Amino acid sequence: MKKAFYRFAAAVVLCGVLFSCKKAEAGDVRNGGIILGFSQIGAESAWRNCNTRSVQEAAEQAGIQLVFFNAEQKQENQIKAIRSFIAYQVDVIAFVPIVSEGWENVLEEARDAKIPVLICDREITLEDQSLYAGYLGTDSAEEGRNAARYLVRKFMDPPPDPPDSSLEDSRGSGEVPSRTGPIRIVELRGTEGSSQAAKRAGGFKEVIGEYPEFRIIYSESGDFLRSKGYELMRAVLDEYEDVDVVYSHNDSMTLGAIDAMKERGIRPGTDIVIVTIDAEQAAINALKRGEVNCVVECNPKQGPDIMDLALRLARGESIPRISYMEEEVFTEWDDLSTLPPRGY
């Protein structure tokens, strides 16, 4: 607790040093020379680290002075960071809300200080929608729907043969797994209270809800962490004899769950169908090996769009209310041989 306070105090001092350079003048804004206060959640996954790199590199490229805070997974740290941005009168505030509720007061303070706010990556729930200018990130409900659409195709609508039959051994046969009774799904959810967890669960249920054959037998939050994905999967395998599918809200938890399956002699991707979200390189490699069946992309490379929107806000221009990143779905039936390295 004390350690966290000192770390935060040090960050505020650093912030003070940075802000001894003055707020942007009109001419600076035209040249991109603005100050952007950015509060990141933490470093819980390779996805998150890529998201951070993307923001930092894009700020440098755009000539934007970035004041960056890592909240170490705590909403209270994010609120303190936003208050320090307000105190130092940055030109624009951007932040990734770890959870969707509880932002009213600090956003009212930003509005009183006339500092525009951009919400990034995760969404927030507010009564007064005018408290922020816009949202840039991913469509998590659609990611959940895409995960479910893959399962519908896998179990209800048999796919064609793989594009290259020599890949058959390494990437599964594409056959509908044999089973009796319902299709038993284990869901590993993201951080409790986050928009990503709520929407990935909601979008998924929306699609599988049309098919009584699918049944979610277990659903727990693994906080987007590999260690918790491992722990949860061990608990699941202790409790349930038959699991047909693991639907995991991110790759980190999936990789942990795969470790737990292998320890028990279970073949991931063959004995249990695995659908995961993010598309980190490690998950794509697992898909190529046949240990994962479907990877739904969540695009972390949001930095350039964030800088573009921040500049527009600093110039007093309006921005779209919602901007979604482009995203793909990769399955065991796709030819992945030409897929470029993911970079995360």
The residues of the shown chain that bind ligand AHR, judged by CB under 6 A, are: 44-45, 47-48, 121-122, 196, 224, 250, 252, 277-278, 298
- Cβ proximity to ligand AHR, 99 vs 207, nearer residue: 99
Least distance (Å) from ligand AHR to the CB of residue 182? 28
Least distance (Å) from ligand AHR to the CB of residue 47? 4
Strands 92-95 and 134-137: unpaired
Least distance (Å) from ligand AHR to the CB of residue 122? 5
Least distance (Å) from ligand AHR to the CB of residue 138? 7
Q: Is the sign of the CA dihedral 148, 150, 151, 152 positive or negative?
A: positive
Sequence-distant (≥ 6) Cβ neighbours of residue 316 within 8 angstroms: none
Least distance (Å) from ligand AHR to the CB of residue 80? 21
What residues form DSSP beta bridges with 245?
185, 273
Evaluate whether 182 touches 240 at the Cβ level (below 8 Å).
no
The first and second tokens of residue 318, run together, are 């309006």
Least distance (Å) from ligand AHR to the CB of residue 48? 4
- Cβ proximity to ligand AHR, 44 vs 187, nearer residue: 44
Q: Is the sign of the CA dihedral 302, 308, 313, 314 positive or negative?
A: positive
Least distance (Å) from ligand AHR to the CB of residue 319? 20
Q: Write the single-letter amino acid at 45.
A: S
The first and second tokens of residue 20, run together, are 């001894």
- Cβ proximity to ligand AHR, 279 vs 307, nearer residue: 279
- Cβ proximity to ligand AHR, 224 vs 230, nearer residue: 224
- Cβ proximity to ligand AHR, 296 vs 314, nearer residue: 296
Separation between Cα atoms, residue 81 and residue 202, nearest integer Å: 31
Least distance (Å) from ligand AHR to the CB of residue 166? 32
Separation between Cα atoms, residue 138 and residue 342, nearest integer Å: 17
- Cβ proximity to ligand AHR, 214 vs 224, nearer residue: 224
- Cβ proximity to ligand AHR, 65 vs 302, nearer residue: 302
Separation between Cα atoms, residue 263 and residue 245, nearest integer Å: 18
3-state secondary structure of 99: coil
Count of positions (residues) in the chain: 344
- Cβ proximity to ligand AHR, 47 vs 132, nearer residue: 47
Separation between Cα atoms, residue 227 and residue 338, nearest integer Å: 31
Reduced DSSP (H G I as helix, E B as strand, rest coil) percent helix, strand, coil of the chain, to 5: 45, 20, 40
